Amino acid sequence: MKTIKYSKITPESVYKNRRSFLKRLGFGASTLAFSSIPLINNGFAKDRNELTSYKDITTYNNYYEFGTSKGDPYKNSQTFKTTPWEISIEGEIDKPIKLSMEEISETFLSEERIYRLRCVEGWSMVIPWLGFSLSDLLSKVKPTSKAKFVEFESVYDPEQMKGQKYPVLNWPYKEGLRIDEAMHPLTTVVTGLYGKKLPNQNGAPLRIFIPWKYGFKSAKAIVKIKFVEKMPMSSWMWASPREYGFYSNVNPNVNHPRWSQATERIIGEGIWAPRVKTLMFNGYGEEVANLYTGMDLKKNF
């Protein structure tokens, strides 16, 4: 199992050195955070680009299968078994397939992708993910003419995931995208972060990441991708349809019914640090706004 080119990957300490090195050369923070990533736009304001520390990324998590407090996933997921692991692609396609983690690692090359995660709760992190475009994986199958959406399903294993013994969500965790959203090159299959294997609390061995949508769209520990005709019902739509719509694009102009989405708190800066303005589509508008041309994004929230 070897897909990650370690020479290409930058550990946390090297990121920091490179940052001060580039600063000395007169490059701004934005040049540096995105220097190795062709897919990233440069829509962030200068003060928004600092990478979040490995510690914060791996100890401040949402993963309700392991508990509902931010520290629970780190505490409760360490012994979670991620081998063997298989992912099935099925539904409205010519021929369903199953791929083992080994096959995925051998077939798809993970690269470093630095994307901002904006949680619907009003905080954000900048994470150096490792991964590849979901479109690479999905192009291995042939959808039928009925296929309009894809549904992602996380693993169901209440023995290992004690949170699944409580009906906070309708387990297994489910999310969905329109096919064109799923095929967008920014939509990523994540296999690691900070040059390391993906930690259990961040969704090992494989999770989805959609940079322009609120974090909850990015399902962890997925075992199934299903092509479907009808818009899937995600776990959060099921839990509270008034608060969580299918699209869930980061949108500072559409408030959550219980709080504003205009600004965000940057994790790692401390709770007294000033909040920063949230950008439309989380700053990826140039790349993705055209997916929503003509749609009323207040109605389709």
- Rounded to a whole number of angstroms, the minimum distance from the CB of residue 125 to ligand MTE is 6
* Helix (H/G/I), strand (E/B), else coil: 53: coil
User: What residues contact residue 123 under an 8 Å CB cut-off, 6+ apart?
Assistant: 264, 265, 266, 267
Cα end-to-end span (Å), the chain: 40
- Rounded to a whole number of angstroms, the minimum distance from the CB of residue 281 to ligand MTE is 16
- Give, as ranges, the residues between 216 and 245 that touch ligand MTE (CB under 6 A): 216, 218-221
* Helix (H/G/I), strand (E/B), else coil: 91: strand
Alpha-helical segments (H) within the chain = 12-24, 29-33, 54-59, 72-76, 101-107, 134-138, 179-182, 235-239, 285-288
Nearer to ligand MTE, 63 or 85 (CB): 63
- Rounded to a whole number of angstroms, the minimum distance from the CB of residue 194 to ligand MTE is 12
Check residue 173 for interaction with ligand MTE (CB under 6 A). Answer: yes
How many residues make contact with ligand MTE (CB under 6 A)?
A: 17
Single out the residue of 10, 62, 105, 278 in contact with ligand MTE (rule: CB under 6 A): 62
Single out the residue of 49, 110, 124, 154 in contact with ligand MTE (rule: CB under 6 A): 154
| C-beta atoms surrounding 183 within 10 Å | 16
Check residue 200 for interaction with ligand MTE (CB under 6 A). Answer: no
Single out the residue of 116, 215, 224, 237 in contact with ligand MTE (rule: CB under 6 A): 215
Nearer to ligand MTE, 92 or 175 (CB): 175
Dihedral-angle region of residue 181 (phi above 0 means left; psi in -120 to 50 means alpha; beta otherwise): alpha
Which among 93-101, 137-145, 213-221, 252-260 is the span making contact with ligand MTE, rule CB under 6 A?
213-221
- Rounded to a whole number of angstroms, the minimum distance from the CB of residue 209 to ligand MTE is 8
Single-letter amino acid, residue 36:
S
- Give, as ranges, the residues between 112 and 151 that touch ligand MTE (CB under 6 A): 117, 119
Single-letter amino acid, residue 113:
R
- List the strands of the sheet with 86-91, edge to edge: 97-100, 86-91, 222-228, 149-154, 174-178
CA quadruple 279, 281, 282, 283: dihedral sign: negative
- Rounded to a whole number of angstroms, the minimum distance from the CB of residue 127 to ligand MTE is 7
- Rounded to a whole number of angstroms, the minimum distance from the CB of residue 64 to ligand MTE is 4
Nearer to ligand MTE, 203 or 211 (CB): 203
Nearer to ligand MTE, 92 or 244 (CB): 244
CA distances, 212 to each of 42, 45, 174, 228, 239 (Å): 14, 16, 18, 22, 22
Nearer to ligand MTE, 144 or 260 (CB): 260
User: What residues contact residue 179 under an 8 Å CB cut-off, 6+ apart?
Assistant: 143, 147, 148, 149, 150, 227
Check residue 161 for interaction with ligand MTE (CB under 6 A). Answer: no
Contact 185, 137 (CB under 8 A): no
Name the residue with the smallest CB distance to ligand MTE.
Answer: 215
- The site for ligand MTE (CB under 6 A) is made up of 61-65, 117, 119, 154, 173, 202-203, 215-216, 218-221
